[in-house]
């Protein structure tokens, strides 16, 4: 779909995942045994065959850059277009732009060079499997200036609190955008609009000393725009806290959730050349997701195990998330724990967190 | 082209008839192994890990899967500006068109390919063995002895020696005789089909052999004996690691089973010697509540609800509740229903096994490895025969 230009804007995403975001931005947090949060939006964009994708980053993006490389894993290493990682380095003394508008202003060339007529804007905290082509058709059909994507949530959870809500009429037009906590229509931080209109809005906002594209160009000026709403009904998870990270990781052990996320939607990630996982004679695994390259001799229950993890004989991993290359020695026990990458847990060590507030162990710790 | 010290030529044209249904539509080197690999991943990864960046892959039988699998070689880091991997099928020339008549003929017909890199040495490999080997260490050995040809050998039990090409050597491992499958072997040094030749020596020998009308154009039968008779300096290079010829259904099954012990003789988890492969990019494997998995190798994309014991599962395999899989190799995207019993079998790619099927549980011949694909699925509760 050469008509679409992808914009992934990480500017306003707060790194609220404590230990997991000490050294990386939220988009680079590992999720679902072998992915990082950014993989889901990038894979959606890949499936819709967008011409180019610009990724606006500001802080702690080293591990994100390492993960993305030249975009090959998402088929975005192209002669024309492909993946552009756009960090905020720019020193124009006359530049008066603020907030995420600064990104757009500083990278006008990225927008102008692309032949695509429409932009699709997204963050990385809402994990979903949206079909951008369908969104595009819907947008054209509605003849709207902007189409916003929302998900109607039956049971609101604490992680939905920071999300904006859309009030939508029967014809799918947005009546209001607000923060009322009990409203079920969660704005998924995804929108589609014509590129020219987008750039006009950016210019206007900068001229008026504004700083935040969505708030100032869309929310505040909603009377001046025809705003449509697109209801997304597939898999959806918001990852904006340790609690929501843990809860949604555990939810993937429910087979319906796993199927919703992965069935028919190939999610791409950086390739690691790991061997298949080896279960030793003493292994005892149930209700768990396990990536490749692991060697499992112990017990694993209700857990999410990333690539290259070693769980030795007698060790027990229960209700936990164990990231890449962790080693859990003989007879160690973890329960309700999130171990970040490369954690080594020595023999007979016991760590028990609370199911509501899991214990998080920072990257490369030796315990 | 920049001059290369050594170019590898990988013989991947064979059909591998003894692998039966597994090579019905793919060449032997493309056959699956070890839960995620194809056989050819081993020599290709050995090249990459040994610092050899120029590899010609000689194909003939059913090349499509193999050549699309190799692609531009990026999975093995062989997508290079100078060098890289090249798939070399037989081609028509001014003097006519011919299939490759033998292993030596395949190289003979690609002299121009090798010549463009002007290498000092050529490494000849075959695409049907499972092993991890540092070819660079072998090259150093070859250089130290100023050899014209170095042949990698493995010590085999005397009673098995007559299945191999056997090298008879002096004490310093200088070869004086080569016997192809001797009935009374004089030594236990079996050729692994890994040769390093000085390119100018091999080039001359290939040109002579190419003219020879009653030659079978084979390295073992023609080139090596002829070089020996000319008194060339030929040495055996002893290799001590794990090496398996996986040319038959039984040996392929055995080599898969070798990966399942608690300390397998072939370590696939060594970060300093990775085996690279085309990644199918599947979500993590899911082991359901009530499932039992032990002594097994399982790839991503599998969903296990039953019991898997001492078996190898490739990607995308689904195993239903109540099913028990033992001592088996299940190839990619096989769907196994509920309450199925499978024992000592290889189930080939994309096969669907219906609920309550029993395969290999009531066998007469314990040594036989059953090979099952979609055509043999109708057999219920009876041991399906090898096809």
Q: Which of B74, B291, B295 sits opposite A280 (nearest CB)?
A: B295
Same domain, residue pair B64 and B109 = yes
Q: Which residue from B minimizes the CA distance to A296?
A: B294
Residue A103, pLDDT score: 87
Q: Is A326 a member of any domain?
A: yes
Does residue B266 sit within a domain? no
A127 and A239 fall within a common domain: yes
Q: How many distinct structural domains can be found in chain A?
A: 2
Was B100 annotated as part of a binding site? yes
pLDDT of residue B364: 74
C-beta of residue A201 within 8 angstroms of C-beta of residue A216: no
Is pLDDT above 60 for A156? yes
Same-domain status, A154 and A93 = yes
Q: Is B306 on the interface with A (CB under 8 A)?
A: no
> At a CB cut-off of 8 Å and minimum separation 6, what does A144 contact?
A173, A226, A227, A228
A101/A156 same-domain check: yes
Q: Are residues A316 and A343 in the same domain?
A: yes
Residue A112 shares a structural domain with residue A198: yes
Q: Which of A271, A279, A289 sits opposite B286 (nearest CB)?
A: A289
pLDDT in tens, A71-114: 999 999 988 889 999 988 767 777 777 888 888 988 999 999 99
At A24-54, the pLDDT tens digits run 999 999 999 999 999 999 999 999 999 899 9
The answer to whether B297 faces chain A, any CB pair under 8 Å, is yes
> Do B314 and B241 fall into the same domain?
no
The structure tokens 């004679």 sit at: A281
Question: Could you tell me if A83 and A142 lie in one domain?
Answer: yes
Mean pLDDT of A301-320: 97
Domain-embedded: residue B137: yes
* Contact: B284, A32; criterion CB under 8 Å: yes
Residues A337, A258, single domain; the answer is no
Count of structural domains, chain B? 2
B265 domain-assigned = no
Which regions of chain B are under pLDDT 50?
A: 378, 381-387
Quick one: A220 and A299 in the same domain? no
Contact A304 B281 (CB under 8 A): no
Q: At B247, is the secondary structure helix, strand, or coil?
A: coil
Q: Give burial (CB, 10 Å; 0-12/13-18/19+) of B367.
A: exposed
Residue A329 lies in a domain: yes
Residue B279 maps to a domain = no
**Separation of alpha carbons B237 and B141, rounded Å:** 8
Is there a single domain that holds both residue B344 and residue B227? no
A304 touches chain B (CB under 8 A): yes
Same domain? B224 vs B353: no
Q: Does A366 map to a domain? A: no
Question: Is A321 within the bounds of a domain?
Answer: yes
Task: Please indicate, yes or no, if residue A272 is contained in any of the structural domains.
Answer: no
A297/A203 same-domain check: no
CB pairs under 8 A between A and B: 112
Is B131 labelled a binding residue?
no
- Is B165 annotated as belonging to a binding site? yes
Are residues A283 and B288, on separate chains, in Cβ contact within 8 Å?
A: no
CATH code, domain carrying A17: 3.90.550.10
pLDDT given for residue B383 in this prediction: 45
In a domain, B140, yes or no: yes
CATH code of the domain in which A292 resides: 2.160.10.10
Best mutation target among B36, B77, B258, B285 (most A Cβ atoms within 10 Å) is: B285
How would residue A11 be classed by pLDDT, with cut points 50, 70 and 90?
Answer: confident
| Domain end position, chosen among B206, B240, B258 | B258
Q: Final residue of a domain: which of A262, A290, A310? A: A262
| Domain around B165 | 4-258
Is A323 within the bounds of a domain?
yes
B160 annotated to a ligand binding site: no
Task: Please check whether residue B265 touches A, CB under 8 A.
Answer: no
Q: What pLDDT, on a 0 to 100 scale, did the predictor assign at position A87?
A: 85
Q: Which domain holds residue A176?
A: 4-262
**Inter-chain CB proximity A292 and B312 less than 8 Å:** no
**Residue B250 shares a structural domain with residue B342:** no
H helix and E strand count, chain B: 8, 28
Tell me, what CATH number does B346's domain have?
Answer: 2.160.10.10
Pair B249, B302 in one domain: no
pLDDT of residue B1: 66
- Residue B294 belongs to a domain: yes
3-state SS record for chain A: CCCEEEEEECCCCCCCCHHHHCCCCHHHCEECCCEEHHHHHHHHHHHCCCCEEEEECCCCCHHHHHHHCCCHHHCCCCCCCEEEEECCCCCCCCCCCCHHHHHHHHCHHHHHHCCCCEEEEECCCEEECCCHHHHHHHHHHHCCCEEEEEEECCCCCHHHCCCCEEEECCCCEEEEEECCCCCCEEEEEEEEEEHHHHHHHHHHHHHCCCCCHHHHHHHCCHHHCCEEEEECCCCEEECCCHHHHHHHHHHCCCHHHHHHHHCCCCCCCCCCCCCCEEECCCCEEECEEECCCCEECCEEECCEECCCCEECCCCEEECCEECCCCEECCCCEEECEEECCCCEECCCCEEECCCCCCEEECCCCEC
Q: Does B272 touch chain A (CB under 8 A)?
A: no
pLDDT, one tens digit per residue, over A238-262 is 999 999 999 999 999 998 999 999 9
pLDDT at residue B377 in the model: 52
Give residue B366's pLDDT. 76
Q: Which residues of A touch B300 (CB under 8 A)?
A: 34, 276, 291-292
| A206-230 burial code (b ≥16 CB/10 A, e <16) | beeebebbbbbbbbeebeebebbbb
Is A131 domain-assigned?
yes
What is the CATH number for B250? 3.90.550.10
Q: What is the pTM of this model?
A: 0.93
CB contact under 8 A, A276 and B313: yes
Interchain contact, B34 vs A283, CB within 8 Å = no
Q: B105 and B161 in one domain?
A: yes
Q: What is the ipTM of this complex?
A: 0.92
Which residues on B lie below 8 Å from A33 (Cβ)? 283-284
Asked whether residue A267 is domain-assigned, the answer is no
In a domain? residue B241 = yes
Specify whether B238 is located in the same domain as B95. Answer: yes
B189 and B134 in one domain? yes
């Amino acid at each position: 779909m050469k008509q679409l230009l992808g914009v992934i804007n990480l500017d306003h995403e707060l790194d609220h995942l404590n230990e997991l975001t000490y050294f990386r931005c939220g988009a680079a947090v590992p999720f679902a045994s072998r992915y990082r949060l950014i993989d889901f939006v990038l894979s959606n964009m890949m499936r819709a065959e967008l011409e180019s994708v610009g990724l606006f980053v500001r802080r702690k993006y080293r591990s994100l850059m390492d993960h993305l490389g030249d975009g090959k894993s998402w088929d975005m290493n192209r002669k024309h277009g492909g993946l552009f990682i756009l960090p905020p380095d720019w020193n124009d003394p006359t530049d008066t732009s603020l907030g995420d508008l600064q990104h757009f202003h500083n990278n006008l060339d990225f927008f102008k060079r692309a032949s695509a007529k429409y932009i699709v804007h997204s963050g990385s905290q809402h994990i979903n499997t949206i079909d951008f082509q369908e969104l595009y058709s819907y947008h054209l059909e509605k003849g709207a200036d902007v189409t916003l994507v929302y998900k109607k949530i039956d049971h609101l959870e604490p992680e939905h609190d920071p999300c904006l809500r859309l009030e939508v009429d029967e014809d799918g037009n947005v009546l209001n955008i607000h923060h009322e906590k009990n409203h079920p229509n969660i704005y998924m931080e995804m929108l589609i609009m014509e590129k020219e209109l987008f750039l006009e809005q950016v210019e206007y906002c900068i001229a008026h000393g504004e700083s935040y594209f969505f708030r100032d160009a869309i929310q505040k000026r909603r009377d001046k725009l025809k705003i449509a709403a697109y209801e997304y009904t597939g898999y959806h998870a918001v990852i904006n806290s340790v609690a929501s990270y843990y809860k949604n990781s555990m939810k993937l052990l429910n087979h319906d959730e796993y199927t919703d996320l992965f069935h028919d939607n190939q999610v791409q990630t950086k390739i690691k050349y790991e061997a298949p996982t080896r279960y030793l004679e003493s292994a005892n695994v149930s209700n768990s997701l396990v990536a490749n390259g692991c060697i499992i001799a112990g017990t694993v229950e209700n857990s999410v195990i990333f690539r290259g993890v070693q769980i030795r004989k007698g060790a027990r991993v229960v209700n936990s998330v164990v990231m890449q290359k962790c080693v859990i020695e003989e007879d160690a026990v973890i329960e309700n724990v999130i171990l970040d990458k490369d954690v080594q847990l020595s023999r007979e060590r016991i760590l028990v967190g609370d199911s509501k507030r899991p214990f998080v162990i920072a990257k490369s710790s030796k315990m | 082209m920049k001059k290369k010290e050594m170019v590898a030529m990988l013989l991947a044209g064979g059909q591998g008839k003894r692998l039966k249904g597994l090579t019905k539509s793919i060449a032997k080197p493309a056959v699956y192994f070890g839960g995620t690999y194809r056989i050819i991943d081993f020599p290709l990864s050995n090249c990459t890990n040994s610092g050899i960046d120029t590899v010609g892959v000689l194909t003939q039988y059913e090349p499509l899967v193999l050549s699309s699998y190799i692609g531009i070689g990026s999975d093995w880091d062989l997508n290079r500006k100078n060098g890289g991997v090249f798939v070399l099928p037989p081609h028509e020339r001014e003097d006519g068109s011919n299939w490759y008549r033998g292993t030596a003929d395949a190289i003979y017909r690609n002299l121009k390919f090798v010549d463009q890199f002007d290498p000092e040495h050529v490494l000849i490999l075959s695409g049907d063995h499972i092993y991890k080997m540092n070819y660079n260490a072998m090259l150093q050995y070859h250089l130290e002895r100023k050899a014209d040809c170095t042949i990698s050998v493995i010590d085999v039990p005397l009673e098995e020696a007559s299945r191999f090409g056997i090298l008879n050597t002096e004490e310093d491992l200088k070869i004086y005789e080569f016997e192809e499958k001797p009935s009374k072997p004089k030594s236990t040094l079996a050729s692994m089909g890994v040769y390093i030749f000085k390119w100018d020596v091999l080039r001359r020998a290939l040109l002579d052999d190419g003219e020879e009308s009653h030659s079978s154009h084979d390295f073992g039968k023609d080139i090596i004996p002829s070089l020996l008779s000319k008194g060339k300096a030929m040495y055996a290079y002893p290799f001590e690691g794990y090496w398996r010829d996986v040319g038959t259904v039984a040996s392929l099954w055995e080599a898969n089973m070798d990966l399942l012990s608690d300390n397998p003789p072939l370590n696939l988890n060594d970060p300093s010697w990775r085996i690279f492969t085309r990644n199918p990019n599947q979500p993590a494997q899911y082991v359901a509540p009530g499932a039992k998995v032990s002594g097994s190798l399982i790839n991503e994309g599998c969903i296990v609800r039953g019991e898997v014991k001492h078996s190898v599962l490739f990607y995308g395999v689904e195993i239903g509740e109540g099913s028990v899989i033992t001592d088996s190799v299940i190839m990619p995207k096989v769907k196994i229903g509920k309450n199925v019993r499978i024992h000592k079998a290889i189930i080939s790619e994309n096969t669907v096994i219906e609920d309550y099927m029993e395969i290999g549980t009531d066998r007469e011949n314990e040594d036989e490895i059953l090979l099952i694909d979609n055509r043999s699925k109708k057999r219920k509760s009876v041991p399906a025969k090898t096809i």
